[in-house]
Amino acid sequence: MRLDKRRLILILLSVFILGLTLITAQKQENKDENVVADFSVSDVPADDGSGLMLSWKPLDRSKRIIEYRVYRGIKPDQLFFLETIQVNPKSGVASDVMYYYDNSASELSDPSFPSKLKLEKGQPENGILYRQPPRDLKFTATLLEHFQMISLSKRNDFYRKSKEVIEDPEADEISSYAALKANQQTVLGMLKPGQKYYYTVVAVDERQRLLPNSPVLDGTPVPNAPDESPALHSVVMEDTGELRFEWEYPIYKGALNTYRIWQVANMTPETWQTIKATSPNLEGMGRLIAQGAVGSGSLPNYTKVDMGEEIASFKDASFVMELVDYYGASSLSPLSQPRVLTSSALPPRTDFSVEDKPNDKGDRLTVVWDNPIVFIVKTTSLNKDNTRLRVNYQLNKTDNQEVDDIWFSFSDPETGEELSTIKEFYRDNSIILKLPKGYDFKKGVKSAIRMSGKPEIPQDYVIEQDLEYDPSMMALLPGKALYRNGRDVSRIYNVVYRRYMHSPAWRMIMRNTSFDNSLDVSIPYGSNAQKLVQGISYAEGDSLIMHLAGPAGVERKARPLVSGERKAPVTLMSHEVDFTWDAENEVLVRTSLFPDRAKEMHEKSIADAQARISELEAQKEGADEATLAQITAEITRQQGILKVYNENKIVQDALNTRSNGSRLRKVLKASDDYMRRQAFMVVKTDSKGLFVESLPQMENEKYIYHTPISNWFDQNKWVTLFTTLLFFGIVVAFVTMAKRGKEFYIRPIAGLQEIDNAIGRATEMGRPMLYCMGNGSISDVATIASMGILSLVAKRAAEYDTKLIVPCYDFLVMPIAQEIVREAHYAVGRPDTYDRNNVFYLTNVQFAYVAGVNGIMIRERMATNFFMGMFAAEALLMTETGNAVGSVQIAGTDAITQIPFFITTCDYTLIGEELYAASAYLNREPMLLGTLKAQDYFKFFIFSIVIVGAILSSFQITGLTTLLPEK
């Protein structure tokens, strides 16, 4: 068969179609492979109905995926970017399933978001994936039904930039809101129970390509019963007649509201597990022993009940705990059978103090419950016989506690014979322990640690640890026990609680081990305002449209726009803010951002209190004694409110302030004052029912509240200040001497002496010079020093009419360099030769700068190169090129890492401080020479201190060493 033209075309066409089919099939296969598999959306268990859980199978490692992007929407055809989960493209994801929990606040509008709907990169016009939701509150209003929204703004912006929006200006009782525009806030959203949300996941590969998205699935969060408490611990205190309970919270505790402890019939834990599975009603089968608030797990997790004589009957009792969430759903803990103990088993009560953290801006306090604590962390053998060990220790103390010396005593655990005692006078967290020759270190060593310091540490205060041989590590390691004055405290915790002035509840801050003696508590200055979004409004034609979120859903309202009213879309929030706490009457005063509303609120509070008092007075008649007492107490409370609103100085002062700006400043200050005051309590506990609360810090039967203090001077810098002033004094003295005509000898610096020769060489050769100021900015001292040298070099260059090129790395340095060179030309009377284009900005990208400078050097065939200033890795690249071109090179830098390269490749190098001295050396100005001389004398002073410090330290006198700051 002949292969004619037609057949050939047919064959080629067939091959082409086959190839195309194969490629398409391959692509189709690839497309399927690029979609994450097993994608599912489900409700987060044991939560309050504000979370959904996404899961999917990650793509194979060969796909080189760098991240997975999650998209969410309230419609299946419009999903917005929500979050990115970064993965390592080299190692891929080790797990078979990836999870993403959408159960926290996510951004719905932010100033950084696109202003309008924007499709995701690579999406077709009818695509479903969008970038973040648009920064358009009209659009955000459509999400109001589906999200619980919170506005997050700078506090100053919220107080000063909020405008008032009135719901209905013609209503008898004005209902108004504080309103912020989209660019003044971030709107956060939480999922709402019962609403439907759509999700998809997209993988992004190393080439930044968005692979096809997974199928869009929906999910609806629903409130669930809380997880059970992992453990309830109960203790019967025989001697005091107390029943004590302590419990643990489940991981998800955000929705927990109350606890109830029940006594149930005696049974085995297995039987209880069977009964529990049937969701029993404890009302009928148990006795309620205790109940209280949980506050989402932040309130104390312990309680005690005084049972008096009845206590004996509880020795064999069984208890369970019921945790109830805000929706009324509950869970039951495992069965607890009590330990029977006496009060001697209780840990000692903590005597704690509160210190202001020194040298800070006033946002931290330290709660201290013990002396400084030193403990051994590890040991390392330093010789073959294991008789020389490096012992690393850790010292935990507060900033106000000083430890002078630490004594480590080591003894044989079997015989008690003392092996070694080491006095640690310089604390470097390490000591060297020498064991007697032939000592079998596998039997371990017992250590006892004592210390001295300020405030005085009791002499009998001792911490002991057993160093035991660990065969796997082949080293002596500290055992788990930590003995404080003979008592093992390794399982005792110090739990720190705090309470605010306006709240009676103690809230947990942190649970600490007994290896810590204090806790730094952060009390930040208020900087952000977080407000619930109650609605969104915007103008449409002549109407103001309001979407108001209420318990029944979102209501859309419209009213005519009032002249001068804000037309831009805004979020609507409560205009009421906390103002001040009246400690005497225990009343929290609130006010409004807007002066008229503030007056209304003030008057209403007074009127309400008066009305309530009249009502209560009327109820007094015929009331029994107990009710009468209650009424009287309530009347007293209401009178307190009246007194606060009528007499409190802060309230009156704000009320009488005419300018709203000044009033709000006072409101902010007053609210900061009471919000930043906190009282503390430390609870010592074994976390199993043996707990002891510290005695409250009180004065005149009221809690002592602490506020951190902002310090004006950093006490660690006294020595720095002193030496700076001393140096200042020496400089002034030498400058004065120089002014009076005293001549100073300055050692010759070859690099500087050769500058004239190098310029002369360029002039003779008729080739230009390059002056490079390095990569420093205008704030670098090296750059400023370099400017002084540039001034001199530019003058000589102008004098000899030699071209000087100055390529600048920093755009702020450039105009100064231009000015310096211009001045130099004027100074020598050659303004005509000044060319502004010879001093120019090159780039501030390190290696692009190198490429630029090297190019200039080669093109212009530089005769002389100056490298003066701050340099990094680019230094060698430039100087080697200069060397290859045959230029004379003079360099100077204070960058230690680059000095060796300059020395190797340049003809002359100014090392470190010589760069700073150059200006004085070259100009020979008495004032500058004076500072140079002062520098030399001060260096001598420093060396003296170094030598004296070394000698004193050798004799264990560390006063001078500790006096000097470490950093």
Partner 1 sequence: MKKTIPLLIVILGGLVWVAWAFSPHYVLQEVFYNQFYLPWAYASSSFGMLLGVISLTMMHTNKIKRRAPKWQYSYFFFGSFLITCIAGFVGGIQKGSLFMWMFENVQMPMSATMFSLLAFYMASAAYKAFRARSPEATVLLVAAIVVMLAQVPLGVKISRHLPAISQWILDVPNLASKRGIMLGVGLGSVATSLKILLGIERSYLGGD
Within positions 191 to 230, which residues make up the interface with partner 1, using CB under 8 A?
A: 208
Nearest to 187 by CA among 164, 219, 153: 153
840-859 residues in contact with partner 1 (CB under 8 A) are 840-842, 844-848, 850-851, 859
CA 798 to each of CA 239, 769, 804, 822: distance values in angstroms, whole numbers, following the listed order: 99, 11, 8, 9
917 binds partner 1 (CB under 8 A): yes
**Smallest distance from the beta carbon of 765 to partner 1, in angstroms?**
17
Q: Which amino acid is at 433?
A: L
**Smallest distance from the beta carbon of 839 to partner 1, in angstroms?**
8
900 binds partner 1 (CB under 8 A): yes
Strands 769-774, 804-808: pairing kind: parallel
942 binds partner 1 (CB under 8 A): yes
**Smallest distance from the beta carbon of 802 to partner 1, in angstroms?**
18
590-629 residues in contact with partner 1 (CB under 8 A) are none
Q: Which residue has the tokens 């001549």?
A: 743
**Smallest distance from the beta carbon of 941 to partner 1, in angstroms?**
10
CA 591 to each of CA 153, 205, 576: distance values in angstroms, whole numbers, following the listed order: 19, 54, 6
369-408 residues in contact with partner 1 (CB under 8 A) are none
- Report helix, strand and coil shares of the chain as percent, to nearest 5: 30, 35, 35
**Smallest distance from the beta carbon of 143 to partner 1, in angstroms?**
23
- Count the site residues for partner 1 by CB under 8 A: 84
**Smallest distance from the beta carbon of 919 to partner 1, in angstroms?**
7
CA 227 to each of CA 126, 297, 778: distance values in angstroms, whole numbers, following the listed order: 44, 13, 60
822 binds partner 1 (CB under 8 A): yes
Nearest to 261 by CA among 318, 300, 315: 318
Strand ranges, E, within 369-417: 373-381, 388-396, 402-411
Q: Cβ closer to partner 1: 230 or 855?
A: 855
Q: Which residue has the tokens 């602490």?
A: 706
Single out the segment in contact with partner 1 by CB under 8 A; choices: 406-414, 415-423, 687-695, 806-814. 806-814
- Sorted by sequence, the CB contacts under 8 Å of residue 43 that are 6+ apart come out as 49, 51, 52, 53, 219, 220, 221, 222, 224
The b-or-e profile of 741-759 (16+ CB within 10 A means b, else e) is: eeebeeeebebbebbeebb
Q: Cβ closer to partner 1: 145 or 714?
A: 714
**Smallest distance from the beta carbon of 208 to partner 1, in angstroms?**
4
Single out the segment in contact with partner 1 by CB under 8 A; choices: 225-233, 252-260, 328-336, 812-820. 812-820
Q: Residue 276 and residue 272: Cα distance in Å, rounded?
A: 6
**Smallest distance from the beta carbon of 16 to partner 1, in angstroms?**
33
R_g of the chain computed on alpha carbons: 39
Q: Are 409 and 421 in contact (CB under 8 A)?
A: yes
With CB under 8 A as the contact rule, the residue among 588, 668, 737, 911 that binds partner 1 is 911
Nearest to 870 by CA among 776, 751, 770, 772: 776
Q: What are phi and psi of 44, to 5 degrees?
A: -75, 125
**Smallest distance from the beta carbon of 842 to partner 1, in angstroms?**
8
Binding mask 469-508 for partner 1 (x = CB under 8 A): ----------------------------------------
831 binds partner 1 (CB under 8 A): no
Q: Cβ closer to partner 1: 740 or 836?
A: 836
Task: Please name every residue paired with 431 in a beta bridge, in sequence order, or none if there are none.
Answer: 391
**Smallest distance from the beta carbon of 743 to partner 1, in angstroms?**
18
Q: Is the C-alpha dihedral spanning 944, 949, 952, 953 positive or negative? A: negative
**Smallest distance from the beta carbon of 371 to partner 1, in angstroms?**
27
Q: Residue 572 and residue 158: Cα distance in Å, rounded?
A: 12
88-127 residues in contact with partner 1 (CB under 8 A) are 121
Alpha helices, DSSP H, located in 590-659: 595-620, 625-647, 649-655
With CB under 8 A as the contact rule, the residue among 628, 778, 945, 952 that binds partner 1 is 778
Mind giving me the DSSP string for 764-828? HHT--EEEEEET--TT-HHHHHHHHHHHHHHHHHHHHT--EEEEESSTTHHHHHHHHHHHHHHHT
916 binds partner 1 (CB under 8 A): yes
Task: Please name every residue paired with 911 in a beta bridge, in sequence order, or none if there are none.
Answer: 893
249 binds partner 1 (CB under 8 A): no
- Sorted by sequence, the CB contacts under 8 Å of residue 210 that are 6+ apart come out as 69, 120, 121, 122, 123, 129, 202, 203, 204
Question: Which tokens belong to 524?
Answer: 């930040």
With CB under 8 A as the contact rule, the residue among 827, 828, 945, 952 that binds partner 1 is 827
With CB under 8 A as the contact rule, the residue among 24, 359, 627, 736 that binds partner 1 is 359
CA 408 to each of CA 246, 376, 430, 443, 457: distance values in angstroms, whole numbers, following the listed order: 38, 10, 11, 19, 15
Single out the segment in contact with partner 1 by CB under 8 A; choices: 174-182, 217-225, 598-606, 929-937. 929-937
412-431 residues in contact with partner 1 (CB under 8 A) are none
Q: Cβ closer to partner 1: 211 or 335?
A: 211
Within 10 Å of residue 173's Cβ, how many Cβ atoms? Answer: 7
132-191 residues in contact with partner 1 (CB under 8 A) are none
Q: Residue 12 and residue 150: Cα distance in Å, rounded?
A: 65
Q: Cβ closer to partner 1: 396 or 711?
A: 711
Q: Cβ closer to partner 1: 55 or 844?
A: 844
Q: Cβ closer to partner 1: 693 or 810?
A: 810
**Smallest distance from the beta carbon of 927 to partner 1, in angstroms?**
5
Single out the segment in contact with partner 1 by CB under 8 A; choices: 140-148, 282-290, 662-670, 780-788. 780-788
**Smallest distance from the beta carbon of 46 to partner 1, in angstroms?**
36
**Smallest distance from the beta carbon of 544 to partner 1, in angstroms?**
34
Q: Cβ closer to partner 1: 703 or 809?
A: 809
687 binds partner 1 (CB under 8 A): no
516-555 residues in contact with partner 1 (CB under 8 A) are 525
Q: Cβ closer to partner 1: 419 or 911?
A: 911
CA 572 to each of CA 110, 538, 638, 951: distance values in angstroms, whole numbers, following the listed order: 16, 10, 32, 71
With CB under 8 A as the contact rule, the residue among 901, 908, 909, 921 that binds partner 1 is 901
913 binds partner 1 (CB under 8 A): yes
- Sorted by sequence, the CB contacts under 8 Å of residue 127 that are 6+ apart come out as 119, 120
**Smallest distance from the beta carbon of 347 to partner 1, in angstroms?**
37
Question: Which tokens belong to 250?
Answer: 């489940």
896 binds partner 1 (CB under 8 A): yes
Q: Cβ closer to partner 1: 360 or 576?
A: 360
Q: Residue 377 and residue 319: Cα distance in Å, rounded?
A: 40
**Smallest distance from the beta carbon of 545 to partner 1, in angstroms?**
32
With CB under 8 A as the contact rule, the residue among 819, 886, 924, 948 that binds partner 1 is 819
Single out the segment in contact with partner 1 by CB under 8 A; choices: 234-242, 319-327, 660-668, 779-787. 779-787
938 binds partner 1 (CB under 8 A): yes
65 binds partner 1 (CB under 8 A): no
693-722 residues in contact with partner 1 (CB under 8 A) are 710-714, 717, 720-721
Q: Which amino acid is at 180?
A: L
Q: Quick one: DSSP state of residue 183?
A: G
820 binds partner 1 (CB under 8 A): yes
Single out the segment in contact with partner 1 by CB under 8 A; choices: 219-227, 538-546, 684-692, 822-830. 822-830
Q: Cβ closer to partner 1: 107 or 823?
A: 823
